[in-house]
Structure 1
Amino acid sequence: MNVIATLNSESEEPPILIGAHYDTVPGSPGADDNASGVAATLECARILAKSQSNRRVIFVAFDAEEMQPPVEGLHGSTAFVDELDPELRPSAAIILETIGFSSTTLKQKLPSSFRFLFRRAYNALKQQNFKANSLLVLSKRDSSELSRSLEQTASQTDINLPVLPLEVPWWMPLVRNLRRSDHAPFWKAGIPAVMISDTANFRNPNYHRSSDTADTIDLELVAKATHTIVAAIENSGI
């Protein structure tokens, strides 16, 4: 069951959506995957409800994102998109997926092909000395403007969040690693969407394990992600 709330529902402009899945895999407390994303979604809702922004925003906690073999995942977000009222079709969706793990001892890992396929993101990571303290922003062509707005906002001195801008080129097939979270049904429906992530199993050794507990979460990283989204909505008009 998805949990949905709308801010400024009286507005006639297309809404922006902020969402995160609330389920986890069996045997894992799911602190990073994905209580961190849900916490940021709730905090965005709390702050924006008190702000002067008139932006219509839909907040969604998606169910059944995780794959439970032999059953595929993304059920909650797929159902949400399939049943979407055309009048509530968002102009864009921001999906928060495992955003709470950083490390001062581990280095950021990536697939071997990453440096050749995503040069801008690789160069950004190289400039960061492969530190495991950034958040990836995954986008494709129709959501690149949203991605760059979030990236620019994150670089502000009062936020100072390192970002890995993973922009999928138009010619690249959307292989499974690019469709692993709730942004994928929005992409399929032609709705611009980005996924924000700490890169999950490419960084967090607790991914999908019983050790994914609250004491492993970098609260400052979650706060910076929240601040970035709120500031982008309030100041950039995304």
Structure 2
Amino acid sequence: MVRKTILTPILLVLCISITACSPPVQEVTSDSRDHVGSAILDSLDVDRIYSNAEELSKEPRVAGTASEKNAANFITDQLETYGYSVESQPFDFDQYIFPNQVELTIEGIEKSFSPAPFQYSVSGDVTAELINVDKGLASDYETNDVLGKIVVASISDVYFEEMVLNAAGAGAVGIIIVFKDGLQNDGWSLGKHHDDYIPTIALSPNEGKSLLNLMDDNKSLTGTITIEGANIEKHESQNILVTKPSKTSDEIIIVGAHYDSVESSPGASDNASGTAVLLEIARVLESVKTDKELRFLFFGAEELGLLGSEKYVDEMTQKEIKNTEAMLNMDMVGSADAGPLTMFTVDGFSNTVTDTAKSNQKIPLELTDLSDHAPFHKVGIDAALFSYFPLEEWYHSPHDEIDKISKERLDEVAKLVAVSVLKLSMK
């Protein structure tokens, strides 16, 4: 169910053109608060938002590919049409190539296993004695000699990366991670590439129990882990940046969205919708004189681990971080099949962004760090994600197409975020 939008007028805009030519900059004063909201909201063009989302979602926009670059060029062209000077922030990243062969065999045992790799599992062909190290904690290696052996560890609350590095640091040549009931053993990641990783595979709960039972029943077992085809390739992505300066304040308000998609998905909801809404907000605010600097940021490579937003935050100066009052992020803001409009913060607590938005509309607040607001939060900037939740069933699938996008929902988010940005940008 879509919640009804309740918006409070706050600023006056005499004219905002929807043509390619930008009108003269109009000054907004505190005396004109009663008229601004309706002028801004009337200028938002949901048909334009939908059209831009449709253009962006004609093909998947996987980070580092020509299609992602094409999307970046489209965004740049649109922003220049609106009258902005556009900056590109390129960055390199490591693209993990999954292995084409993953095997586990046990010497003298006919039972077959179906291990799965982790993202960032390294290639290797190692044969060694198997040894059970319980949960694979650092303390588990104090009483176990694993030098030159393959360790078997059962997951607990320790990061997979830590489990692998603990084993490698103790001299193991490979690690088998056994999953617990209720968790599938595929689709997981070691977080990032590390030069000290050793061949790592995951076993399902049933296969893991079988292996541990075999180890209990036999004095010594020798296993072989084979991983072939895993590789790291260098690719390039880019953030697209627009700055709308202010002559009256050093304070900064940031509005962002990522424009890449996952492989095989047109990404209409995730996240052509957020990108298109951000483009429209940038368009209607181009002619508005605000008290604070506005930055409109279009992030690349979000789907690979927030790489674009992390790059941007890493490049911010301490002065910029200190002066940034708020970051508003939009991700999946058009799906007709998702739940109601929801705000997310990294810690689940309200902040400047959520308090401002809630003054216009009653919106639930949830917790997540799985989008581009997270890197800003980590450096102390009040940040929040706007999205519809729970997610649609076709999330990250080939069915994330433009016909699943609701104009009403695009319009709802565009109005809410635009008004919130205007409120935040006035002293």
Instruction: Please give the TM-score of this superposition, normalised by the length of structure 2.
Output: 0.41
Cα distance between partner residues in 1 of 2:399 and 2:286: 34
**Any residues of structure 2 matched to 1:217-236 within 5 Å, and which?**
217-235=405-423
**Any residues of structure 2 matched to 1:1-238 within 5 Å, and which?**
1-67=238-304, 73-89=305-321, 90-103=324-337, 132=339, 134-139=340-345, 140=347, 144-154=351-361, 163-166=363-366, 178-199=368-389, 202-235=390-423, 237=425
- Answer yes or no: is the 8 Å Cα contact 2:334–2:407 preserved in 1: yes
- Answer yes or no: is the 8 Å Cα contact 2:274–2:330 preserved in 1: yes
Cα distance between partner residues in 1 of 2:289 and 2:354: 24
Cα distance between partner residues in 1 of 2:350 and 2:256: 16
Structure 1 residue matching 2:375: 3-state secondary structure: helix
Structure 1 residue matching 2:286: 3-state secondary structure: helix
Question: Whose helix fraction is larger, Structure 1's or Structure 2's?
Answer: 1
Structure 2 residue matching 1:12: 3-state secondary structure: coil
Deviation of residue 222 (structure 1)? 1.3
Q: Deviations over 1:35-94 (max 9, x none)?
A: 011011111111111234343110000011103xxxxx1110001001013343321100
Question: Whose strand fraction is larger, Structure 1's or Structure 2's?
Answer: 2
Structure 1 residue matching 2:395: 3-state secondary structure: coil
Q: Which runs of 5+ in 2 are unaligned?
A: 1-237
Cα distance between partner residues in 2 of 1:99 and 1:196: 7
Partner letter of residue 99 of structure 1?
V
Which residue does the alignment assign to 1:171? none
Cα distance between partner residues in 1 of 2:277 and 2:417: 9
Partner letter of residue 313 of structure 2?
V
Deviation of residue 144 (structure 1)? 1.9
CA RMSD of aligned residues (A): 2.1
Higher relative contact order (CA 8 A, sep 6+): 1
- Answer yes or no: is the 8 Å Cα contact 2:342–2:386 preserved in 1: yes
Find the structure with the greater CA-based Rg. 2
Q: Deviations over 1:192-229 (max 9, x none)?
A: 10011113xx3312210111011110122111111112
Structure 2 residue matching 1:138: 3-state secondary structure: strand
Cα distance between partner residues in 2 of 1:209 and 1:236: 36
Deviation of residue 183 (structure 1)? 1.0
Cα distance between partner residues in 1 of 2:249 and 2:291: 10
Q: How many residues align?
A: 186
Q: Which runs of 5+ in 1 are unaligned?
A: 68-72, 109-131, 156-162, 169-177
- Answer yes or no: is the 8 Å Cα contact 1:37–1:96 preserved in 2: yes
Partner letter of residue 34 of structure 1?
N
Cα distance between partner residues in 2 of 1:164 and 1:34: 21
- Answer yes or no: is the 8 Å Cα contact 2:253–2:425 preserved in 1: no
Deviation of residue 14 (structure 1)? 1.3
Structure 2 vs 1, CA of residues 210 and 185 (structure 1 numbering), >3 Å: closer, same or farther? same
